[in-house]
Structure 1
Amino acid sequence: MSVTGVWVVGALPDETVRSLPRAAVQAFSSESSSALPDVSGEWAWWESRAQESMFSKSSTSQGSWRAGEDAIRLRAFLDTRRDESEEAEALRDAVMDRFPREGEAGLFAAVARKACPFSALAYALGPEAVRRLPGWFGEFLLDAEQVRARLPAAEKTLALTGARRRDAVERIHAWMAGLGDDPHHDADELLDGPLRVLRHAARTGQAVAAQVRWY
């Protein structure tokens, strides 16, 4: 049975995040290390492979990619670092209910068959850049003050140009084709969309949440 990966980044009223229990917010924060699993071993492995391509171009189809063993290992690492408890799922549902409607400012959503959009972005950016992003493997809750504080790092990480952007776009396509079933995924939007939401929230004094879902 096929699965669909979804990554959603949305602005929401600041009071919504401020009203949540601190423990719930910290569960999605990379700073609350005591509540998170130890990933140091796999992270060190990823850092040692970050400059290498984990895919090869397939000779059977123009523009298609074949995933190597390292890509499969990285997918397993990135796709499973997620709190799947009932409490965490209830929090995700409650937060998503406060997001803007589709098509409105302040909402970004990426969908891919058989692949997680955030994992594709993480492979494209590399581990050092992913550390600069807020939260825990694509999931975070930031109040308005935290949005403003974290925006410069997000801009440094996502506002890519020139050769760096072309390389990131190619890596996203490789991931989506080699591990997923979405070879024509909008890689530029995967880079631009989350940053657009963060900038919108900073301008309007809103909070921002991001979450990974599988359907």
Structure 2
Amino acid sequence: MSATGVWVVGTVDDEQVRELLLTAVRSSPPPPPSAPAGVTTELAWWRGLAGESLFTRRTAGAGGWAATEDALRLYRFFDSCLDDSDAVEALRDAVMEQFPANEGEGLFAATARKANPFWALAYALGAEATLRLPGWFGDFLLDSAQVRACLPRAEEALALTGPRCRDVIERIQAWLDGLGDDPAHDADALLDGPLRVLRHAARTGQGVAGQTRWY
């Protein structure tokens, strides 16, 4: 069965952010903070790759990219960091209802067949830049003050130019081709879209939420 990975980033009214969090805590009090099993080891391993490519070019006849064993390991690490518990999925559903109806300054959505768009971006950026982004591997719910606080770090990670930008775009495409089925994905949008929403929210005094999902 085919699956589609989704990453959505959208503005949310500041008051709604507080209401959503309060409702979530009332219905399902959060457990004590804890990292997924093995995350420290895997994160150290990922940091140690230092921009190393985890994909190889297929033969000229086949074209495209092929995933190495290290690419599969990184995929498993990202998957282990995704919280798909009932309480978190319910919060994601409630947040989704608050997003703007149409994509524009306040909403960005990326989809990819058999691949998670945020995971492709994270691989392309590398560990250090990814950890400058808000939240936990693509999932976050911020009020307006938190948006303003995180925006400089997000701009540092995403506002890329020159060779660095070209390298990140190629790495995004390698992930979406080598581990997914979307070689023609608009890789540039994964840099521009989330930053557009964050900047818009900072200008207009709104909160922002991001979520990664599978359908």
- For residues 127 and 64 of structure 2, what CA distance do their matches in structure 1 show? 25
How far residue 49 of structure 1 moved from its aligned partner, in angstroms, is 1.5
Q: Which runs of 5+ in 2 are unaligned?
A: 26-30
TM-score, length of structure 2 as denominator length: 0.92
Q: 3-state DSSP class of the match of 1:132? A: coil
After TM superposition, the structure 1 = structure 2 runs for residues 54-203 of structure 1, keeping only pairs within 5 Å, are: 54-61=54-61, 63-203=63-203
Which residue is 2:33 aligned to? 34
Q: How much has 1:83 moved relative to structure 2?
A: 1.5
Query: 2:50, 2:186 → 1: CA distance?
Result: 22
- For the residue of structure 1 that corresponds to 2:33, the secondary structure is helix
TM-score (structure 1 length as normaliser): 0.92
Structure 1 residues 39-50: aligned runs within 5 Å: 39-50=39-50
Q: What root-mean-square deviation, in Å, do the aligned CA atoms of Structure 1 and Structure 2 show? A: 1.8
Q: Which residue of 1 aligns with 2:17?
A: 17
How far apart are residue 189 of structure 1 and its match?
0.5
Q: Match of 1:29?
A: none
* Matched residue type, 1:150: C
Amino acid at match of 1:139: D
**CA deviation digits over 1:35-90, x for unaligned, max 9?**
43241000011111132110011114465001100001101111231221111111
Indicate how the Cα distance of structure 1 residues 23 and 54 shifts in structure 2: closer, same or farther if over 3 A, else same.
farther
How far apart, CA to CA, are the structure 2 residues paired with 1:100 and 1:208? Answer: 11
* Contact 1:99-1:107 at 8 Å conserved across structures: yes
The runs of 5 or more residues in structure 1 that have no matched partner are: 26-31
